[in-house]
Structure 1
Amino acid sequence: MSTAVPEVTFDAFDPSNRADPYPAYRRVRDEAALFPYELGDVPVTLVTRYEECATILTSPLWGHGYAAGISPFRDTTAAIPGSFVRMDPPEHARYRKLVAKAFTPRMIGELAPVAGQVVNDLVDKAVARGEFDVLEDLAVPLAVAMIPVRLLGADPADGARFREWQLAIARGSDPDSLLDDAAVEARGAAAMACMGHFAELIARKKHTPTTDLLSELVAAAEDGEMLTEPEVIGIALLLLVAGMETSINLIGNGMLALLRNPDQWQLLREQPELVGPALDEMLRYDGPTQFTIRVALADNEVGGREFRRGDGVVVLTGSAGRDDRAFPDADTFDVTRYAGSRPARKHLGFSLGIHYCVGAPLARIEAEAAVRTLLERAPELRLGAGTVEYRPSQIHRGLMSLPVTM
């Protein structure tokens, strides 16, 4: 006699699972490391477990395949000049090297006190009120101050517009099959408006350069150092969207995890040296990015399965972070997991390999400044009333708001 095995369905992208997609990840992860899936009308493979995800992210046999014309994914960001997040070597390395100048240890060392001062000023206002929203009153204005204003040299008065554009483009970074017509239209309108704004900003910086990355990129373009003006605009757009979305959602998701686990908040109060390791646990436990896509650049084998050149996979980094095979008791939020002489395995919250998040050091600075300051200035912080709701994006996991009281 045979026992029927119930069919497992991947439904983590279903709106009903938006608040907590992790049980849905577990169901498919327990079923298979490599799970067949239809992304719209594109047959792909979901990569559900840590080992296979890490293998694909670090292997030169996997990339994006747009330049070679072999990607099965439709992604409008791949067509934007300078958008190196969807590029393969050697083009990827050329652009990333220029952008990485903004994230050297020296530059990050200079940005840390700036972030700390911005956070202090924002928390001053929050403490005076006794209640505030972690996103709208802290994470968002901090990201605006650090990315478009400090990094790209934009006018602080344009912060609200940058946030509006960034949200629409971030929502539109999901695969088109996961978007409705309104989201696609909003993405296009926001991208056009934002690129037009950057074109005006670049024109001003050609005449009056300032001490920011955008001025450096403009100078590099004028010197013929591999960049054209459309490429500079594309890089700025990428840094705006990816940089803001990652840092905002790291702070929001991380603070929610801490406040839902008051014993861990109390532990950080008693041992503030654990804040650094706690950020890694936040990225593992409920990361701001839930998946990425890759394409086989050559025939190869992963997890005992043969892939052909041009095959597409969805690397579920959100699922990998909850894989008990890599992280014992993975559904438990533990701020000591990455502390001590034997920390946990490297999480995939910032990806791995050549596409490891170039802005990761800045995102960590912003999140650490926020958490440390709240521990010091608002140690009795508690979740406010109401239901926690998430934005509709699937790649980017972030809250609509996070009201708290002191």
Structure 2
Amino acid sequence: MTATPSVAGPQELLLQLLDPANRAHPYPVYAQFRDRGPVLMPDANLMVFSRFRDCDEVLRHPSSSVDRFKSTAAQRMFADGMPTRPMGSQGFLFLDPPDHTRLRGLVSKAFVPKVVNELAPHITDLVGGLLDRIAERGRFDVVSDLAYPLPVAVICRLLGVPLADETEFGRASALLAQALDPFFAITGEPAAGMDERIAAGQWLRDYLHGLIAERRLKPGDDLMSRLIAVEESGDQLTEGEIVSTCNLLLIAGHETTVNLIANAILAMLRQPGQWGALGAESNRASAVVEETLRFDPPVQLVVRIAADDMTVGDTEVVKGDTMMLLLAGAQRDASEFDRPDVFDPDRETFRHLAFGKGPHYCLGAPLARLEAAIALSAVTARFPDARLDSEPVYKPNVTLRGLATLEVAL
């Protein structure tokens, strides 16, 4: 049953975003935010943006910081005795220049389109194997049988992480993904399960330190080995930075792509004509991917910190304030998109903020697009009569909102 939010105040709306009852249908909540325009909550030092132009401007603004520890709210928390870095060193996703520029530059060569496109035969083989196993059963769970195992196998190959260890690092990754949810920004309290997430983060760091020790003795043709070589050549890269970078890529490299593939399959199965159209014409895959990134993005919201006093549109933002950008809502802004609530891969142009903008534009965008396009074109062609066999079940995550299960009959 769809949870229909009533007209509510800003704090109520934010709490509705956290409410699992709205996970399957968050878009009516986003619409109420858009109708209000920018929302300031001064007691929380929080500004919420939900319109496309505002979110786009914040993402590009030179005073937008990704370091949450610079926020006024975080500084208050540290003053009350909370450890300043409970999860250890941060990956470059949460660093500002110049550290962000340096670390991103060391990793970026592994994700340029030319290198990524060379993975296409490997990805195609992986997808074929997964679909063969699905065909034997006559039904499948979109997440566990396709959307999850594919990107996990790809990122493990890139990083040099043994796929046999997936169960353990997958559990840690899922817990750490929940740490991206804006629970503290909304409620002023740490989210439940913080100790479990800290323990998961420590386990994953210890695991990666162990792999680094193995790679020092026996380097491979993988990104982790290349980062170790950079460190050992005397460049400005520490083992802690290698760990935090691999940690970030391991999580970001599969959690978001899982959601992208699963969301696209759900959207097409709700419009069977779209499923059949892609199955018959594989070159539609890129359009399906781009429209999914707009219509139901894998990353629903992001947070930025005002490093200085800022002006966004007509709104003044005070230095240290947290800016919450409701990207999924912004991408259904009727002032920017025709029929924004309709999934339509036949749009004339595609625009979205799903991969961010500016210096923090998603490094893995070419890889995510490639994996999704190959998987979606293959599954629609292989199983033309696929149909939904149950209601979708969602994970608890707010930021990386995605399906937990989606049963499909063939």
Counterpart of 1:99? 107
Matched, 1:370 2:372: no
Task: Give the counterpart letter for 1:231 in structure 2.
Answer: E
Matched, 1:171 2:178: yes
The answer on whether the counterparts of 1:166 and 1:241 sit within 8 Å (CA) in structure 2 is yes
Give 1:18 shift: 1.1
SS in 2 for 1:343: coil
Note the residue ranges of structure 2 that are not aligned, 5 or more in a row: 1-6, 78-82
Comparing 245-254 and 72-81, the one that deviates more: 72-81
The answer on whether the counterparts of 1:321 and 1:347 sit within 8 Å (CA) in structure 2 is yes
SS in 2 for 1:154: coil
Task: Give the counterpart letter for 1:257 in structure 2.
Answer: A
CA distance in 2, matches of 1:57, 1:367: 25
The correspondence of residues 281-292 of structure 1 with structure 2, limited to 5 A, is 281-292=291-302
Counterpart of 1:220? 230
1:88-110 residue CA offsets vs partner (Å, 9 max, x unmatched): 11111111111111112221121
Counterpart of 2:285? 275
Counterpart of 1:72? 73
The 3 A distance-change label for structure 1 pair 193 and 207 is: same
Task: Give the counterpart letter for 2:398 in structure 1.
Answer: Q
Task: Give the counterpart letter for 2:163 in structure 1.
Answer: P
Matched, 1:158 2:168: no
The 3 A distance-change label for structure 1 pair 180 and 72 is: closer
The correspondence of residues 1-400 of structure 1 with structure 2, limited to 5 A, is 8-9=9-10, 10=13, 11-32=16-37, 34-37=38-41, 42-65=44-67, 69-73=70-74, 80-147=88-155, 149-177=156-184, 182-337=192-347, 342-344=348-350, 346-385=351-390, 387-400=391-404
Task: Give the counterpart letter for 1:54 in structure 2.
Answer: D
CA distance in 1, matches of 2:269, 2:97: 42
CA distance in 2, matches of 1:77, 1:271: 49
Cα RMSD between the aligned structures?
2.0
The answer on whether the counterparts of 2:298 and 2:402 sit within 8 Å (CA) in structure 1 is yes
CA distance in 1, matches of 2:320, 2:190: 26
Give 1:16 shift: 1.9
Note the residue ranges of structure 1 that are not aligned, 5 or more in a row: 1-5
Task: Give the counterpart letter for 2:211 in structure 1.
Answer: L
The answer on whether the counterparts of 1:8 and 1:27 sit within 8 Å (CA) in structure 2 is no
Give 1:180 shift: 6.8
1:33-76 residue CA offsets vs partner (Å, 9 max, x unmatched): x11248xx723011010000000001112113557x44534797
The answer on whether the counterparts of 1:78 and 1:87 sit within 8 Å (CA) in structure 2 is no
CA distance in 2, matches of 1:104, 1:78: 32
Percent identical across equivalent pairs?
Answer: 38
Task: Give the counterpart letter for 1:31 in structure 2.
Answer: R
Aligned length, in residue pairs: 390
What TM-score does the superposition give when structure 1 sets the normalisation length? Answer: 0.91
Give 1:312 shift: 1.6
The answer on whether the counterparts of 2:57 and 2:312 sit within 8 Å (CA) in structure 1 is yes
CA distance in 2, matches of 1:391, 1:131: 21
Give 1:204 shift: 0.6
Comparing 225-234 and 175-184, the one that deviates more: 175-184
